[in-house]
A and B are shown apart, each in its own frame.
Chain A
Amino acid sequence: ETGVTQTPRHLVMGMTNKKSLKCEQHLGHNAMYWYKQSAKKPLELMFVYNFKEQTENNSVPSRFSPECPNSSHLFLHLHTLQPEDSALYLCASSTVLGMETQYFGPGTRLLVL
């Protein structure tokens, strides 16, 4: 596998479910990011991790819980989501935090019923 991978690619869940999104990067990068992309809205940064440490939480509701066990893996744990949380969730990584180019995974298309 190369680049940034995400699983699952599609997810349908009820509001009472608990699920997790997984991201893995094979680029040797040290910074990883979660973004949310809703229809007709700009990409929104959710969380930033640098060398496994969270450096940014962009006022994300607590029903989204990130986890970064190492520099190659990033998870987004979901629980008691709302229908308005339905969106494309994108993971990205970069060599270091800051000015460097970010590379995106294919995304997880989430539908909350």
Chain B
Amino acid sequence: QKEVEQNSGPLSVPEGAIASLNCTYSDRGSQSFFWYRQYSGKSPELIMSIYSNGDKEDGRFTAQLNKASQYVSLLIRDSQPSDSATYLCAVVGASNTGKLIFGQGTTLQVKP
């Protein structure tokens, strides 16, 4: 079992729709969770961080964490073509050594 799993996609949504990106992780003791966005040929940039169960909203982005189900998601409301990118889920494991474990990423395509 992979430590952090994401559906590679591509996930295709029309402009203005809600995009839902999902991630599961295997280390039950994980405490820190991050969503990064990576445009083609560029480096990852942080979108959201979440540390406790529930929802965290920032503009059009909402991160959702359910530690009991070992599941973290990212919702993008009113999706725009500029949101088209690969979204990386990353988790810091229970050992808390700073080791950030990444999923393989989900490619999102927002069609005008």
State the A residues within 8 Å of B (CB): 31, 33, 40-43, 45, 48, 50, 55-56, 58, 88, 90, 94, 97-107
Contacts and interface: CB of A to CB of B under 8 A. Distances in A.
A60 to B, nearest CB: 13
Nearest to B33: A99
A43 B101 CA distance: 8
Interface string B1-29: 00010000000000000000000000000
A91 to B, nearest CB: 9
Contact of B92 (A56, A88, A99, A103): A99
A45 B100 contact: yes
B87 interface: no
Given A43-B88, A98-B92, A31 B98 contact: yes
B104 A101 contact: no
A104 B97 contact: no
B14 to A, nearest CB: 27
Contacts of B57: none
Interface of B: 4, 31-32, 34, 36, 42-46, 49, 51, 88, 90, 92, 96-105
Nearest to A45: B99
Contacts of A99: 31-32, 51, 92, 96
Q: Shortest 9 CB-CB distances between A and B: which pairs?
A: A97-B98, A43-B102, A99-B32, A104-B43, A42-B104, A42-B102, A107-B43, A98-B96, A104-B44
B1 to A, nearest CB: 14
A66 to B, nearest CB: 15
